[in-house]
């Protein structure tokens, strides 16, 4: 079928304009741009349970760090008044009037259990995050170099075999006994050898991908081992690192609670210290709130941190972004 070009109201040159060919332009992919962290959060927030867990974690952190700033808390304020000690929530409200301070009753010194818990949570959470930051930073960086460098591996594997046979809790306990128990003593005790297990785990993961073709090519081109470990290997292990973080942070809270429970923790009113001081109330009728409230809060904090970290680790796996 033939067409009259005049019916289109355009000349032949206008209808059939030549297009220049460019080899570089033709190689460009027109697929949408991929952002790794955008995909991570898209996968993470796709699950409704993650939104709830993150909201709960946000409430806990706000209560632990902001609530004490607006409350004049004195744990020994009612020490000399025997009628204020070991009160249930109902009796505390009858004694002091309705207030958020008394919704969990009072402790052995007549102090507000609610206020004590959030002051203690701030100490315990801060301890866990500081220890996790130090151990993860040293462990991940050193583990990447350890796994990639065969010379470092020969020395470090012997050091690890010696240190790993000493129970971690025993190391912490000895450090606490040598130095006076305090926040920074516990940080030092939990990090002096705590990073080594993380480094060994990362070393194992690095060995799996160390000799892949792109790393061998980088080595042949003269790229340093440190740069290959930082640029080629660690980004590939992001999801694994997030999973390790998910287990490390709650574990430090558990260590602090356990050490305080056996009388080797801080003198400050951390969650572990509150549980230790309320141990006698566990079996005393009418005093159970004093013990079980900090236990419940410590359990909620560890579970929420663990689940949030695990789900973020799963979302960090690029295979879930398809």
pLDDT > 70 fraction of the chain, expressed in percent and rounded:
89
Burial of 25 (0-12, 13-18, 19+ CB in 10 A): exposed
Residue pLDDT, tens place only, 12-25: 666 666 666 666 66
Q: Check: CB of residue 196 under 8 Å from CB of residue 161.
A: no
Residue 259 confidence (pLDDT): 85
In this prediction, residue 135 has a pLDDT band, given cuts at 50, 70 and 90, of very high
Cα 255 to Cα 166, 173, 185, 261, 313, distances in angstroms: 16, 10, 13, 10, 23
Q: Picking from 22-26, 157-161, 201-205, which range would have the lowest pLDDT averaged per residue?
A: 22-26
Q: Check: CB of residue 116 under 8 Å from CB of residue 107.
A: yes
Residue 31 confidence (pLDDT): 57
Identify the three-state secondary structure at position 112: strand
Residue 285 confidence (pLDDT): 77
Q: Check: CB of residue 273 under 8 Å from CB of residue 122.
A: no
Across 169-191, b (16+ Cβ under 10 Å) vs e yields eebbeebbeeeebeeebbbbbbb
Within its chain, how far is the Cα of 96 from the centroid?
Answer: 38
Non-local CB neighbours of 152 within 8 Å, separated by 6+ positions: 145, 146
Count of C-beta atoms within a 10 Å radius of residue 84: 21
Residue 290 confidence (pLDDT): 84
Residue with tokens 């050193």, as numbered in its chain: 142
Residue 5 clears pLDDT 60, i.e. is over it: no
Top pLDDT among 25 and 243 is at 243
Residue 65 clears pLDDT 60, i.e. is over it: yes
Mean pLDDT of 232-252: 83
Of 206, 190, 173, the closest CA to residue 132 belongs to 190
Backbone phi, psi, residue 100, to 5° = -60, -25
CA 86 to CA 106: how far, in whole Å? 5
Top pLDDT among 138 and 207 is at 138
pTM score: 0.80
Residue 3 confidence (pLDDT): 57
Residue 32 confidence (pLDDT): 63
Helices within the chain (DSSP H only): 12-15, 23-26, 36-46, 48-65, 89-96, 113-148, 150-163, 168-178, 183-191, 194-209, 213-220, 225-228, 238-261, 271-277, 288-315
- Which residues, in sequence order, are bridge partners of residue 112? 106
Residue 11 confidence (pLDDT): 65
Residue 134 clears pLDDT 60, i.e. is over it: yes
Residues in the chain: 322
Give the number of C-alpha atoms closer than 13 A to the C-alpha of residue 82, restricted to the C-beta side.
0
Residue 64 confidence (pLDDT): 92
Residue pLDDT, tens place only, 91-110: 889 988 888 888 988 888 88
Give the number of C-alpha atoms closer than 13 A to the C-alpha of residue 38, restricted to the C-beta side.
4
Tokens of 256: 């602090």
Q: Average per-residue pLDDT in the chain?
A: 83
Q: Check: CB of residue 277 under 8 Å from CB of residue 110.
A: no
In this prediction, residue 34 has a pLDDT band, given cuts at 50, 70 and 90, of low
Backbone phi, psi, residue 307, to 5° = -65, -45
Residue 15 confidence (pLDDT): 63
Mean pLDDT of 156-172: 88
Residue 72 confidence (pLDDT): 82
Residue with tokens 């939990």, as numbered in its chain: 190
Residue pLDDT, tens place only, 73-90: 878 878 888 888 888 888
Residue 182 confidence (pLDDT): 84
């Amino acid at each position: 079928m033939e067409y009259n070009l005049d019916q289109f109201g355009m000349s032949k040159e206008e209808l059939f304009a030549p297009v220049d060919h460019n080899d570089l332009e033709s190689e460009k992919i027109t697929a949408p741009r991929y952002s790794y962290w955008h995909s991570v959060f898209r996968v993470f927030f796709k699950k409704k349970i993650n939104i709830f867990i993150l909201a709960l974690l946000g409430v806990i952190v706000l209560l632990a760090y902001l609530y004490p700033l607006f409350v004049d808390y004195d744990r020994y304020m009612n020490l000399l008044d025997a009628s204020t000690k070991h009160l249930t929530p109902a009796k505390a409200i009858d004694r002091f009037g309705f207030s958020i301070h008394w919704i969990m009753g009072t402790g052995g010194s007549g102090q507000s259990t609610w206020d004590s818990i959030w002051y203690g949570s701030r100490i315990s959470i801060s301890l866990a995050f500081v220890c996790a930051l130090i151990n993860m930073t040293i462990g991940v960086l050193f583990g990447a170099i350890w796994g990639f460098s065969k010379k470092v591996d020969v020395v470090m594997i012997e050091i690890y075999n010696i240190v790993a046979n000493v129970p971690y809790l025993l190391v912490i306990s000895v450090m606490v006994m040598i130095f006076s128990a305090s926040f920074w003593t516990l940080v030092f005790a939990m990090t002096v050898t705590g990073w080594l297990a993380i480094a060994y785990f990362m070393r194992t993961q690095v060995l799996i991908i160390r000799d892949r073709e792109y790393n061998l090519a980088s080595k042949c081109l003269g790229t340093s081992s440190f740069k290959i470990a930082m640029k080629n290997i660690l980004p590939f292990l992001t999801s694994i690192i997030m999973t390790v973080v998910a287990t490390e942070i709650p574990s430090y809270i558990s260590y602090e609670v356990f050490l305080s429970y056996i009388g080797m923790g801080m003198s400050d009113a951390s969650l572990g210290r509150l549980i230790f001081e309320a141990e006698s109330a566990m079996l005393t009728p009418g005093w159970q709130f004093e013990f079980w409230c900090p236990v419940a809060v410590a359990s909620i904090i560890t579970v929420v941190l663990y689940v949030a970290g695990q789900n973020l680790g799963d979302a960090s796996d690029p295979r879930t972004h398809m």
